């Protein structure tokens, strides 16, 4: 039994080296059926972290510690899982244990100190927040913002965006140049007005003889976004798009990516639709790079304004009364109607529970019913949950994103639940394809297109992330 466990563990290690993390998890899981050792549990925990299942990683680390309380690697895994969930205070507790166990390890001390510094920064930020303080948008007078005379890029005349300006913006970003600070603030203020006018779930109408393209996560992969537009055509009143969240983080061109989408929304408010993802929030932005990127490219004030805009993004969309689109998936209650999803106040940070949280964090599962999420947030929902929700709300299909897929998309739950993911070669390492769906208004039947990644210059994924001494 021990020999078979060792063989399967080594098999998992080989899959891991090839970045085939789901295969690695399968091998480690099989190994654990023969022998539950702290080493195999921590190996599987690391693979879970690679596929963004920190809840499962923390559970494996806890089991490893129940077997061997002094197993240092398990505390590292727990700390990384808590960081992935934006729970830096919990991670610091784990890293304190590590430092106690290996006080002379400089790497452990560096990770602990980096995490401690971040916790202090967050505490300071929380301490100075006041519920009565004006929002960033309320403190800005656009007319007081001037553009430096040396700036040679496109300029917004007043607050009116034109097709010429947006084309120039995309070209400038492609050349790794920034637009004027005044103009990015203008775009954020204008798109904020639009989002504030919308309900949690927005109804989208597509004429019978026209189409809409639904895209999943793009995660700061701006050059792949440009390629997507090259393949499928630029956004226009006759070429509608819906981007289903996670515009930022991980990819190191997140500012360019999300600003392009926001500029298009201002230019064509009825032709491009944007849903919030679980990464359009402060806790994720602190860890996965967007905060660091914006502050490096602009400043704190621009980042704070982005956060305010993220807090106003719609939770999802319903296309032609038939296709339900949200970033994560369905909820923990059986009797939820669309009107119930319209009730929560979405204007704030993503809550840790409730309908909005579940909509942005949930995942489908093959078995019936519901299960706790391996992410550590939200839940997993089965085909019976999907079928009941669709029947109750007179819908035909759920489209969600939130998970990388080898081919860019997966159809599950008897064809009634589609996952779409539009960031090919995710994090510059996974090797997956991207995909998008086209729906014609007349029948709303999905037609899939997959595409490969393109090369991009400069910074690799996670370049701007708060890496806590390399843990991420």
Nearest of 376, 422, 385 to residue 402 by alpha carbon: 422
Instruction: Tell me the C-alpha distance between 389 and 355, whole Å.
Output: 14
Contact yes or no for 287/81 (Cβ under 8 A): no
Do the bridges between strand 240-243 and strand 211-215 make them parallel or antiparallel, or are there none, so unpaired?
Answer: parallel
Contacts of 341 (CB under 8 A, 6+ apart): 200, 201, 315, 316, 355, 359
CA distance 411 to 395: 17
- DSSP letters, 213-233, are EEE-B-TT-HHHHHHHHHHH-
**Rg of the Cα trace of the chain?**
23
* Residue recorded with tokens 């992410």: 375
The kind and range of the H/E element at 438 are: strand 434-440
Interior angle at CA 95, CA 91 and CA 97, nearest 5: 120
Pick the catalytic residue from 112, 219, 279, 453.
279
Exposed/middle/buried for residue 174 (C-beta within 10 Å: 0-12, 13-18, 19+):
middle
d(CA 472, CA 467): 5
Residue 279 appears among annotated catalytic residues: yes
Helix (H) or strand (E) holding 31: helix 21-34
Q: For residue 125, count other CB atoms closer than 10 A to its CB.
A: 11
**Which candidate, 386, 389, 382, 400, places its Cα nearest to that of 327?**
400
DSSP string, 234-281: --BTTBEEEE-S--SSSSTTHHHHHHHHHHHHHH-TTTEEE---TTSS
Coil vs helix vs strand at 472 = coil
217: nearest Cα among 461, 413, 54, 390: 461
Q: Round to whole Å and give the CA distance between 6 and 378.
A: 34
Q: Distance (Å, rounded) from C-alpha 184 to C-alpha 14?
A: 46
- Catalytic center residues: 279
């Amino acid at each position: 039994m021990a020999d078979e466990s060792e063989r399967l563990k080594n098999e998992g290690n080989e899959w891991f080296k090839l970045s085939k993390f789901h295969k690695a998890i399968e091998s480690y899981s099989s190994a654990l059926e023969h022998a539950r050792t702290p080493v195999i549990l921590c190996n599987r925990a690391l693979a879970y972290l690679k596929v963004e299942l920190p809840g499962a990683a923390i559970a494996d680390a806890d089991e490893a510690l129940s077997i061997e309380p002094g197993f240092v690697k398990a505390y590292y895994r727990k700390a990384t899982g808590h960081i992935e969930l934006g729970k830096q205070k919990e991670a610091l507790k784990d890293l304190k244990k590590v430092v106690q166990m290996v006080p002379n390890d400089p790497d452990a001390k560096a990770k602990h100190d980096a995490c401690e510094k971040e916790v202090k920064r967050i505490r300071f930020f929380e301490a100075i927040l006041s519920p009565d303080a004006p929002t960033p948008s309320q403190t800005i007078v656009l007319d007081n913002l001037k553009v430096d005379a040396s700036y040679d890029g496109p300029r917004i005349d007043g607050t009116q965006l034109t097709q010429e300006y947006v084309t120039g913006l995309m070209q400038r970003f492609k050349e790794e140049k920034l637009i004027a600070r005044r103009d990015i603030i203008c775009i954020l203020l204008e798109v904020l007005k639009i989002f504030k006018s919308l309900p949690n779930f927005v109804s989208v109408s597509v004429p019978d003889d026209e189409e809409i393209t639904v895209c999943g996560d793009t995660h700061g992969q701006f050059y792949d976004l440009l390629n997507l537009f090259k393949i499928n055509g630029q956004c226009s009143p006759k070429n509608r798009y819906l981007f289903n969240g996670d515009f930022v983080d991980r990819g190191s061109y997140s500012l360019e990516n999300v600003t392009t989408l926001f500029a298009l929304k201002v230019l064509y408010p009825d032709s491009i639709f944007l849903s919030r993802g679980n990464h359009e929030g402060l806790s994720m932005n602190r860890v996965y790079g967007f905060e660091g990127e914006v502050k490096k490219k602009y400043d704190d004030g621009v980042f704070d304004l982005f956060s305010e805009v993220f807090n106003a993004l719609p939770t999802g969309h319903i296309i032609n009364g038939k296709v339900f689109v949200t970033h994560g998936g369905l909820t923990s209650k059986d009797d939820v109607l669309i009107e119930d999803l319209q009730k929560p106040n979405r204007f704030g940070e993503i809550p840790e529970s409730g309908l909005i949280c579940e909509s942005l964090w949930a995942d489908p599962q093959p078995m019936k019913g519901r299960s706790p999420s391996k992410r550590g947030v939200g839940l997993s929902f089965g085909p019976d949950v999907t079928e009941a929700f669709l029947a109750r709300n007179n819908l035909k299909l759920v489209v969600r994103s939130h998970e990388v897929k080898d081919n860019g998309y997966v159809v599950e739950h008897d064809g009634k639940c589609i996952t779409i993911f539009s960031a090919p070669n995710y994090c510059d390492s996974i090797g997956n394809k991207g995909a998008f769906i086209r729906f014609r208004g007349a029948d709303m039947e999905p037609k899939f297109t997959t595409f490969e990644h393109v090369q991009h210059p400069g910074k690799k994924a996670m370049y701007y992330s708060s890496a806590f001494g390399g843990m991420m």
